[in-house]
Amino acid sequence: MVFTSLPFLFLFLPICIICYLIANTTKKRNIVLLIFSLIFYAWGEPVYVLLLLFMSFADWLFAICIEKYNEKKKVFLILSCIVNLGLIGIFKYGSFVISNIYNIFGSDKSAPNILLPIGISFYTFQLLSYVIDVYRGDVKAQKKYYIVLLYASLFHQCIAGPIVRYADIEEQLFNRNINIYKVHEGINRFCTGLVKKTVLANTCGKLFEVFVVADNQINTNEAVSFVSGKSVLSLWLGIFAFSLQIYLDFSAYSDMAIGMGKMIGLEYKENFNYPYISYSVTEFWRRWHISLGTFFRDYVYIPLGGNRKGKGRTIFNMFVVWSLTGIWHGASWNYLLWGLYFFVFLVIEKLWIGDKLKNKSFISHLYLIIVIYFGWVIFKFENFKVLAAVIRGMFAANNNHFSDFETMTSLKANIFIIFIAIIASTPLVKNIVNRIRFNISDTMSFSLVYKVGSVIMPPIALLLSLINIVGNTYNPFLYFQF
């Protein structure tokens, strides 16, 4: 089940909220949330609910043992790491490792197809962070198993983040209030994410398929041949469309997760802060997928020594973090290459050009956009033959034309939606609304317009989204696969 499906919008979510409101205590509301979260997760993968139940139980038990048997707490932490990392290793990387072993030894066997449980990368990190925080003494071990399970399985964010730490919502799990203002704010945020996903991200995804190649529709040789025939402009526009799509898609999911949290009194931290307006790669990664970045910083980079043990050790620590960041995104060599690609630029900024980028000039921003742009090229294509064909074609090395009739026609037909997608990737609209709101909010006429607008915008956004959902088969959330 996805947030943009009709069963979720008109059946699951309304019934969940109604049952939640009927429950008159926090404990009963937690039980309602847990039941609906497990139903949500089991909708498409009922068997893998058992995996979620087991991992939550194991970490609940390990955390209690860490607190109870202080002298042996490191043993239980290691056991937790083995269970969590072992299971994600099997399910996420098992087929990849076996297929590479077969290739090394020249075997013609096919690796077993191990299905990836949805959301395992997110709830594994949440559970692991909980156990580590108990080990560090940052939080107390939760004595009730169902609370740990609820924390790991909250349907708002268990599938694609943001990665929520137990310490951030511990108090809210037992003491939270609902008021009309938070509900209204949550509905607005949810509808903003919904329209961002269904109207803008999906359109950008379709444009990528028009300008470059449709995913999983043709084999490698056909894909290389198809891409090689694309014009230079078509390939550049296609990667640009994907750059917009992946931001709008992932940030839209976070918007909807944060919005649904607000509806029931839970406050999740922001996961995106308009990364494309950055002036350096370092700044970009402080704004992109914030919860993942802070996870690796707090649980990998700093424990390894951070920047406290000299320049050489700092670079090594960064290498580890960015190798893991790449691998976390998928079991394919291109993701590792993508992580190391950013590692190189982050080292360059840290050692040589970081101070120059702080002036926030046009050149700094242009540098950032170019680096990120080619980063998405690496990220998008798991097959290196297709990746090479795309890069060659972008520089006319496939004997391809600069442009063609199909590219120009598609561009002209979609120029308006591309422009809107660009605007939606910046804080321009948000800043304008806030400036008007704070500067003129004391006038009665504006106050009335603002209130009316805030009431009618969610239904309009919902209507636009429904128009795009009905009969539309292209509706993936990109980060579901990670």
Active site residues: 329
CA proximity to 223, closest of 382, 111, 336, 378? 382
Tokens at residue 412, please? 């002209």
CA proximity to 208, closest of 221, 220, 195, 217? 217
Q: Whole-angstrom Cα distance, residue 44 to residue 41? A: 7
Tokens at residue 171, please? 């108090």
**Alpha carbon distances (Å) from 198 to 134, 194, 244, 250:** 40, 6, 13, 12
Helix, strand or coil for residue 140?
coil
Tokens at residue 111, please? 């690796």
Tokens at residue 433, please? 């609304």
* Other beta carbons less than 10 A from residue 140's beta carbon: 12
Burial letters 256-280, b for 16+ CB under 10 A, else e: bbbbbbbbbbbebeebbebbbbbbb
CA proximity to 27, closest of 156, 201, 144? 144
CB 260 within 8 A of CB 327: no
